[in-house]
Chain A
Amino acid sequence: MEVLKYKARGIRKAIVEMIHSAGSGHPGGALSCADVMAALYFCYMRHRPDDPTWTDRDRFVLCKGHAAPVLYATLALAGYFPYEELLTLRKFGSRLQGHPDMKRTPGLDASTGSIGQGLSIACGLALGAKLQGKQWRVFALLGDGDLDEGQTWEAAMFASHYRLYNLVAIIDRNGLQVDGPTEKVMSLEPVCRKWAAFGWRVMEIDGNKMEEVVEALEWAVGGSCGRRTSRPSCIVARTIKGKGVSIMEGNPDFHGRAPSQEEYEIAMRELGTG
């Protein structure tokens, strides 16, 4: 547990560093899901950083592609590519594009970035595993914005209709979207009841508490790979946008802008040097 918390802090530091270096990007929604990413890549997912295309690996789809820095940071810490490469984020010729490009970055299972398209890809991957008798599972990380898109609900229907028990959707429910609080821009609640009504198993947690994240993934993975259920699982992870950096926490301003030098120094101080 302490290791996972330490990894999450490392991911957060890398996020702030790389976005500061890039001069643009989306820190808020990357910081909010660092705990989930740490638990996935350093505990629950079966993957081989030295063999990124290993056939039997678990698949991960970052539906909220604008949170690419959290994925790159996680992959670098897991050993998919050198940590220093994170500083090339968004730069010309970099393997780390502004939004995930599976053709360039090792360890990516899908190219995403256009909100609302990821869960459909995850459904296809999960259905493909079922058809081929494969044991790998599919994890999809969605943001609030993904729930605005109609396609996400098309995919939600598809997943339960085709009994994709090997699919886990995690909603990074940080409550803020580009133009402000979700309930002001476009009401999403009651989120849990919506997923349940679409035929999913649902569990709601504090997505910034590692203990709860671990418990939820245990519940999702146990229920799916053990085939105790035929239904897909949805974890609604209540999180704080910008989590870990006081000036970014709950601040919609940091949805899509890089920290200034001064803000960067505050952030790094808060995240610790260790």
Chain B
Amino acid sequence: MRMVSTRDIYGDTLVELGMLRDDLVVLDADVSKATRSAVFAKRFPGRFFNAGVAEQNLVGVAAGLALSGLLPYASTFAVFMAGRAFEQIRNTVAYARVNVKLVGTHGGITVGADGASHQSVEDLALMRSLPGMVVLVPSDANQARQAVFKAAAWSGPVYIRLGRAPTPLIYPCDCSFEIGRANVLREGRDVSLMASGCMLHTALEAADALSREGIGAEVIDVPTLKPLDSSTIAMSARKTRAVVTVEEHSVIGGLGAAVSEFLISSNPVPLVRVGLPDAFGQSGEPEELMDFYGLSTKHVVMAAKKALNLRDRRTSSAFHDCLC
């Protein structure tokens, strides 16, 4: 299986986009080699601006460029984009609905050896809390390419989270991607696995393992965290009545939170969140970290069984209530 990280496609996609749109400008905060925006800088040096290690100014300048009529994409590591520049994103970008595209690479703990200071596990919670902000978490490199393109056509601020570690390609190069739409990748009757980012592949592996035990898992890719595709999520939850969310982010505020918040007031069903517990990461190999923090395939399988258990217990107690 071909492995490509979602950040690796970023620079090439910017070049593609830059050839189509001469209003595209790209900014970075001294990590252009790591975010891959350097690929664009090499091809279009006159349309690339390095802000130095100054994320707050990066976001403000991007906003000014957008207000002048250009289409700015600004990138840096997710922890510094969403974290350090949060209030700039809130007051300068989101409040005025400025047409800025913010790209946070190195999302999650698969950043690996750099350790907790560089592992963003709360960026999605921060970005999701802002009115009007679109939050995209592409699940593979091909989808990331589409997301970068679709963000350009969207009028208003967009946050795109990309990852550092190479992950398997799931989608074809010309896959369809719509902002606000989730994709049902595999149908199943027993439990819904709703995943985002590199965890989609893990969810698919878990579904394979569950099917070997006779459990039919539905796998839904949720690359748009906001606006959430509530109809697809509701439809699956109504069918299986047991949901597992799977993400490389804190269990607070990300996909698990978004799906729970929606389902609790529409279709309450047992829901188990797979994600970072309320803790910081640490240095290590990505696989070691994913295993340690409970984000491996086996953890998704266990979570699915737990959700099924909760559902069946609830069903039997409801049955018991009826008998009484």
A interface residues (Cβ-Cβ under 8 A, vs B): 55, 59, 101-103, 109-114, 116-129, 131-132, 134, 150-151, 154-155, 157-158, 162
Enumerate chain A residues within 8 angstroms of B62, measured Cβ to Cβ. 124
Q: How far is the CA of A59 from the CA of B63 in the complex (A)?
A: 14
Judge if B47 is at the interface, Cβ distance under 8 Å. yes
- Nearest to B61 among chain A residues (CB) is A124
Q: List 17 A-B contacts (CB under 8 A).
A: A117-B60, A117-B88, A120-B57, A120-B64, A121-B64, A122-B64, A123-B60, A124-B62, A124-B67, A128-B69, A131-B65, A151-B56, A151-B57, A151-B60, A154-B51, A155-B60, A158-B51
Q: How far is the CA of A112 from the CA of B67 in the complex (A)?
A: 13
Enumerate chain B residues within 8 angstroms of A155, measured Cβ to Cβ. 57, 60-61
Question: Which one, A128, A131, A150, contacts B56 given CB within 8 A?
Answer: A150
Enumerate chain B residues within 8 angstroms of A158, measured Cβ to Cβ. 51-52, 54, 57, 61
Please state if B64 and A127 are interface contacts (CB–CB under 8 Å). Answer: yes
Distance in angstroms from B26 CB to nearest chain A CB is 12
Please state if B96 and A103 are interface contacts (CB–CB under 8 Å). Answer: yes
Q: How far is the CA of A112 from the CA of B91 in the complex (A)?
A: 7
Interface string of B14-54 (1 = CB under 8 A from A): 00000000000100000000000000000000110101101
Q: How far is the CA of A101 from the CA of B60 in the complex (A)?
A: 16
- Given known contacts A154-B56, A162-B49, A123 and B68 CB-to-CB distance under 8 angstroms: no
Judge if B59 is at the interface, Cβ distance under 8 Å. yes
Interface string of B79-93 (1 = CB under 8 A from A): 000000001100110
Judge if B306 is at the interface, Cβ distance under 8 Å. no
- Given known contacts A127-B49, A154-B56, A154-B57, A120 and B63 CB-to-CB distance under 8 angstroms: yes
B interface residues (Cβ-Cβ under 8 A, vs A): 25, 46-47, 49, 51-52, 54, 56-57, 59-70, 72, 87-88, 91-92, 95-97
Please state if B92 and A157 are interface contacts (CB–CB under 8 Å). Answer: no
Enumerate chain A residues within 8 angstroms of B68, measured Cβ to Cβ. 59, 124-125, 127-129, 131-132, 134
Please state if A110 and B70 are interface contacts (CB–CB under 8 Å). Answer: no
Please state if B54 and A121 are interface contacts (CB–CB under 8 Å). Answer: no
Q: How far is the CA of A157 from the CA of B57 in the complex (A)?
A: 10
User: Which residue, of B56, B61, B92, has the highest number of chain A Cβ atoms within 10 A?
Assistant: B61
- Nearest to A126 among chain B residues (CB) is B64
Distance in angstroms from A126 CB to nearest chain B CB is 7
Q: How far is the CA of A151 from the CA of B57 in the complex (A)?
A: 6
Please state if A154 and B96 are interface contacts (CB–CB under 8 Å). Answer: no
Please state if B67 and A113 are interface contacts (CB–CB under 8 Å). Answer: no
Q: How far is the CA of A162 from the CA of B52 in the complex (A)?
A: 12
Please state if B64 and A157 are interface contacts (CB–CB under 8 Å). Answer: no
Enumerate chain A residues within 8 angstroms of B65, measured Cβ to Cβ. 124-125, 127-128, 131
Q: How far is the CA of A161 from the CA of B106 in the complex (A)?
A: 28
Please state if A111 and B96 are interface contacts (CB–CB under 8 Å). Answer: yes
Please state if A131 and B64 are interface contacts (CB–CB under 8 Å). Answer: no
Enumerate chain A residues within 8 angstroms of B91, measured Cβ to Cβ. 111-114, 117
Enumerate chain B residues within 8 angstroms of A118, measured Cβ to Cβ. 60
- Nearest to B67 among chain A residues (CB) is A125
Q: How far is the CA of A124 from the CA of B27 in the complex (A)?
A: 11
Q: How far is the CA of A36 from the CA of B97 in the complex (A)?
A: 29
Distance in angstroms from A239 CB to nearest chain B CB is 25
Please state if A132 and B69 are interface contacts (CB–CB under 8 Å). Answer: yes
User: Which residue, of A59, A110, A116, A117, has the highest number of chain B Cβ atoms within 10 A?
Assistant: A117
Enumerate chain B residues within 8 angstroms of A157, measured Cβ to Cβ. 52, 54
Enumerate chain A residues within 8 angstroms of B25, measured Cβ to Cβ. 131
Enumerate chain B residues within 8 angstroms of A109, measured Cβ to Cβ. 67
Q: A116-B56, A120-B61 are in contact. List 7 more A-B contacts (CB 8 A).
A: A103-B97, A121-B92, A123-B61, A124-B72, A127-B49, A128-B67, A155-B60
Enumerate chain A residues within 8 angstroms of B97, measured Cβ to Cβ. 103
Please state if B52 and A131 are interface contacts (CB–CB under 8 Å). Answer: no
Please state if B56 and A114 are interface contacts (CB–CB under 8 Å). Answer: no
